[in-house]
Amino acid sequence: MTRADKPVKRISYATVRDRGKMRQVVVTIHSTWIELRLLGTQRKYSLDIGTLFDRAAMQEALRMVAEKKKAKADARKLKRGI
């Protein structure tokens, strides 16, 4: 795997509606953070990669808890015959 020693900029396939237009998201990967902006704009948003990883892990954990809760509810309904 290659280290991110120099900033790498890519246009993603993700699109976001901004002021009535659909714009692609431009991603710049730096050594310790990621910068996001919309194509054709200058406003940039930065995220620390460690924080981004923690948030993604938390989101996955919450998704798994919700999935388990739904499975339990479905099992209870099946047991009751509903």
Q: Where are the domains of the chain?
A: 8-80
Beta bridge partners of 24: 15
How does the average pLDDT of the chain come out, rounded? 94
Instruction: Give me the pLDDT at residue 80, please.
Output: 83
The beta-strand segments (E) located in 19-81 are: 21-29, 33-38, 44-48
Q: Is the pTM of this model over 0.85?
A: no
Q: Please compute the mean of the pLDDT values over residues 20-36 and round it to a whole number.
A: 96
Instruction: Give me the pLDDT at residue 82, please.
Output: 61
Instruction: Place 27 in a pLDDT band, splitting at 50, 70 and 90.
Output: very high
- H-helix or E-strand containing 56? helix 49-80
Q: Please compute the mean of the pLDDT values over residues 23-52 and round it to a whole number.
A: 96
Specify the DSSP class assigned to residue 37: E
Instruction: Give me the pLDDT at residue 79, please.
Output: 84
How many CB atoms are located within 10 Å of the residue 38 CB? 20
